Structure 1
Amino acid sequence: MWKVQLFVFVEIVLLSMALVTMLAADFSRVVIILVLFLLLLYYYFGKQKGNFLLVASMIMLFFIIMLNPYVIAALLFALVYGMIVAYPYIYKENQETHLVYEEDVEIQSEKNRWLGDLQHFSKDSCQFHDINLLRIVGKDTIHLEDVILVNHDNVIVIRKGFGDTKIIVPLDVEIQLQINTLYGELNFLHHPSRKLRNETISLTTPDYKRANKTVKIVLVSFLGNVEVVRK
C-alpha cells in the first residue's frame, strides 16, 4: 500500500509544479485563459463558429502541457513505476484460455464525436440499442419517444465534460436516473428543479420495478444541466 501512496504523492508534487510553472509563464497563462473563455462561451451560447478556434487552442494547450518538464517527469515516473509493478507478471508462465462461442458474435462500431451538438434517435423510428457516449463539449438530445423499448435491459451511459443533456422518454416507460456532476441543474419530469453541486443523486420512478418497459440512465459530467421529460 505504501508504494501506491508514494506514487500518488510524487505524481501530485510533479503535476503541482507543472501547474505552477505554466501559470508563471505569460504565454501558457494566456492559452489557459483563452481555452476556459471559449469553453464558457460555447457552453452558454452554443456557438458552432468558434469550434475551430476552440480546438486549435486546446491542441496548443495540450502541447504546452506535454512539453512541460515536470509533466514529462511525471510520465516517466509513472512508466518506471508501472514497469516495476508489472515486472513480476512479465515472466510469469502464460496460461492459455480458450473461449468458445456457440453463436456468431455481432460487432457494432461507432466513432465518438467529442465536440458539437448531437441528436440521438431523431431521424427514424428504430429498435433501441444501448447508448454509451464519451463527450468533451456539446449538447446531447436523446429521443426515445419513437424508439421501440422492450424489457428492462435498456441502458444509457453518458460521460461528458461540458454541455447540457436532454432525454425524452415515452409515457409508458419507467425511469431510473443516476447523476454524478460537479455543477449544473436537474429538471426531472414534473419535480421541481434541483441544483447540483458536486454530488451524486439517484432518482427512480415509483413503478420502475413492476413496469414492463424501463430505461436506466447513468450520467457523469463536469458542468452542464440535465433535463428528463416525458412525451
Structure 2
Amino acid sequence: MKRRWQLFWIIEIALTMVLGYQIVTNPASWIGVASGLIALVIGIKGHFWRTFWLLLGGVLLAVGIFINPMIWVILFVGLVGALFGLSGKHGRRLPWQQKHYAAVHVVAPTTKGGTTTRHPWFGDETIGSSTYEWDDINITVAAGDTIIDLGNTLLPQGDATIVVRKGIGKTRILVPVGVGVMVDHSALAGTLSVDGAECGLHNQTVRQYSDDYDTAKRRVHILTNVLIGDLEVLSV
C-alpha cells in the first residue's frame, strides 16, 4: 500500500509539472493566472472594493488554470486516489476492488458451435460455469481483483493458455500441483509472485518457467498484461 501511494504522488507531481509548462507556454493561461494573482493581492492588502478584487482574482485564476486540459487529468487521478484511500480506511470495497472468481465446473458435454462471452468492466464474474472440458481463458478487465482457480477443471494433456489483460488490480491464479507453468507477465508497476518467489516490475516483462515444465504432461501458459497490479501464481 505504501508503494502505491508513493507511485500516486510521483504521478501527481509529474502531472503538475506538465500543467505548469502548459500555463507558461499558453499566453491566455499565464495572463489569466498573473492577472488573478495581482487582483488577489490587491484584494488582500487593499481596503476598497475588497470583495470585488478577491472575486475577480479567484475567477481569473481559475479560468487561467482550468483552460489547460492537464488540470482535469490531475483532478481525475486525485479522485481515484481519494476513493482508494477512503475505501481502505472504512473497510468498504469500490466496484473495481470487488473480486471475481473464475472457475470451470463439470457438466454434460455440448457440441462445439463456438461461444461468445461478455465480461463485466467491474465486479464479480465466473468463467466456465457451463462447460465440461477445458477452454482456454481470455479475459479483459478494466480494473479489479481476479481469481482464476484451475482446481475444478480437467486440463488437457499438452498446453493450455490463460490470457489476462487488465488496467488496475491484482490477479491470482491457482494451478494444480504437477502442472507445468510458464508465466509471461508485463506490467507498468507491480509485483510477480510464483510459488512465493517475488520480484518487482517497473515497465518490464518477465518470463518464468516452473521446475517441472519440460517433464510435465500438462502445461499451462499464463500471459498477462497490466498497467498497475500484482500477479500471483500458486500451486495448490
TM range (shorter): 0.5 to 0.7
Work out whether 1:203 is the aligned partner of 2:218: no
Give the corresponding residue for 2:228: 223
Post-superposition Cα deviations, 1:20-76, rounded to whole Å, max 9, x if no partner, equal: 58x95269556423432344444984954567xxxxxxxxxxxxxxxxxxxxxxxxx
What's the secondary structure of 2:158's corresponding residue?
Answer: coil
Moved more, 162-171 or 41-50: 41-50
Work out whether 1:180 is the aligned partner of 2:221: no
Q: What is the CA–CA distance in structure 1 between the aligned matches of 2:190 and 2:121, rounded to whole Å?
A: 20
Report if the CA contact (8 A) 1:117-1:138 is conserved. no
Displacement after TM superposition at 1:115 (Å): 1.9
Q: Specify every segment of 5 or more residues in structure 2 that has no aligned partner in the other structure, as ranges.
A: 1-17, 27-63, 97-110
Work out whether 1:139 is the aligned partner of 2:180: no
Displacement after TM superposition at 1:185 (Å): 1.0
Q: What is the CA–CA distance in structure 2 between the aligned matches of 1:119 and 1:105, rounded to whole Å?
A: 20
Give the corresponding residue for 2:177: 171
Give the corresponding residue for 1:89: none
Report if the CA contact (8 A) 1:119-1:141 is conserved. no
Give the corresponding residue for 1:59: none
Give aligned pairs, total.
Answer: 161
Give the corresponding residue for 2:78: 37
Work out whether 1:162 is the aligned partner of 2:168: yes
Post-superposition Cα deviations, 1:138-186, rounded to whole Å, max 9, x if no partner, equal: 1110011121111223100011111000000101211000011110011
Report the identity percentage.
26
Give the corresponding residue for 1:6: none
What's the secondary structure of 1:36's corresponding residue?
Answer: helix
What's the secondary structure of 1:112's corresponding residue?
Answer: coil
Report if the CA contact (8 A) 2:137-2:163 is conserved. yes
Displacement after TM superposition at 1:230 (Å): 1.3
Q: Specify every segment of 5 or more residues in structure 1 that has no aligned partner in the other structure, as ranges.
A: 1-15, 52-103
Q: What is the CA–CA distance in structure 2 between the aligned matches of 1:197 and 1:31, rounded to whole Å?
A: 26
Report if the CA contact (8 A) 1:182-1:196 is conserved. yes
Going from structure 1 to structure 2, the CA distance change for 1:169 and 1:187 (only over 3 Å counts) comes to same
- Normalization by structure 1: what TM-score? 0.58
Structure 1 residues 25-104: aligned runs within 5 Å: 25=66, 31-40=72-81, 41-42=83-84, 45=88, 47-49=92-94
